[in-house]
Structure 1
Amino acid sequence: MDALQHINNTVYFRYFEDVRVVMLEELKVFEYVKRHNIGPVVASTRCDFRAPLVYPDNITTVSWVEDIQEKRYTMKYEIHSHNQQRRVAVGEALVVYCNFSDGKSCAIPEETANALQKYLLPENAE
C-alpha cells in the first residue's frame, strides 16, 4: 500500500491466484498432480488497472475460462470494488499443462478438459 492507501499492483495478481486456486481445488487438479505428475502452470499473466483500489475496501473477484485447447486454456478475471461499485481491474492468464517429470507441455487430461467446460462463460454473457 502506498501513502494514498492504494493497494499495490502486485496484490491484484494474488487476488487472481486466489480464485484460480479455488477453481483448481474444485476440479481436484492437485490430487491429479500428486498421482500423475502432470498439472497446470501459468505461462503468462497480465492485468489492466481500470481504477485504483483504495484501502479499506471489500472486493469481489470473478473468473472464467476461455479458449480451451489441447494443452492450454485462458483464464479471465475481474476485480470489483464494493466501495466504488465498479470494476477496477481485468486480467488474464495463459495456463499450460506440463509434465513435471520432463518439464514439457502436455495435453490437458480429458477429465479435466471436460470439467473445465463448466467455467466457460456463455457466449451471450458479459
Structure 2
Amino acid sequence: MTEERLEGFPVVVEIPVLWGDMDAFQHVNNVRYFRYFESARIAYFERIGALEFMKEKGVGPILGSARCRFKLPLTYPDTVRVGARVPELGEDRFLMEYRVVSEQHRRVAAEGDAMIVFFDYRGNAKASLPEEIAERIRELESAR
C-alpha cells in the first residue's frame, strides 16, 4: 500500500520514528520532517554520484530552499518511507520533491520540495549543473 504512494520516486529510504522525535505536543516535531527529507536527498546524491563528483571536482549540490506541507501527525511507534525525485532540471539547479509515508497509517504524512543549486566550493560561487550529473539524474528518473 505504501509502495503505490511512492510510485514515481526512484529513491526511497526507510526510517524508524523514534520516541525522542516527538515533542511536547506528543507528535513528531516539524524539524524531523526536514531530517527525513535530508536522508532521502543524501541517498539520491549517493545514487547519482554527486558526493564523489564534489570531492573530485569541488563542484556539488547546496540547498537553496526547502519547504514542507504537513498532512498527518506522526507518532511513535511508526516507520516512514521517504521518497525523493527530480522532476525539473535547470541550468544551475534542480527541483527535488519528497514524500513521507507512514507505514502505520498507510497515508502520506508530508510532502515537500527543495531547490538544489550547484556550487563551486573551491571558488565559493554558484556553478552550472554539470552535464555528467544531469545525465545521471535523467537516467535515474527514466528508470522509474
Scaled by the length of structure 1, the TM-score of the pair is 0.90
The 5 A counterparts of 1:19-98 are 19-98=40-119
Q: In structure 1, what is the equivalent of residue 129 of structure 2? A: 108
Q: CA deviation at 1:5?
A: 2.9
Unaligned runs of 5+ in 1: none
Question: 1:2/1:121 Cα in 2 relative to 1: closer, same or farther (>3 Å)?
Answer: farther
Match of 1:97, SS state, is: strand
Q: CA deviation at 1:103?
A: 1.9
Aligned residues: 123
Q: CA deviation at 1:110?
A: 0.9
Q: 1:8 aligns with which of 14, 20, 29?
A: 29
Q: CA deviation at 1:48?
A: 0.4
Q: Percent identity?
A: 35
| Contact in 2 for aligned 1:65/1:119 (Cα 8 Å) | no
Could you list the runs of 4 or more consecutive aligned residues of structure 1 that deviate by over 3 angstroms after TM superposition? 118-122
Match of 2:114, SS state, is: strand
Instruction: Identify which of structures 1 and 2 has the higher relative contact order when contacts are C-alpha pairs closer than 8 Å and 6+ apart.
Output: 2
Q: CA deviation at 1:3?
A: 3.9
Match of 1:52, SS state, is: coil
Whole-angstrom CA distance in 2 between matches of 1:89 and 1:111? 31
| Contact in 2 for aligned 1:64/1:76 (Cα 8 Å) | yes
Whole-angstrom CA distance in 2 between matches of 1:63 and 1:6? 23
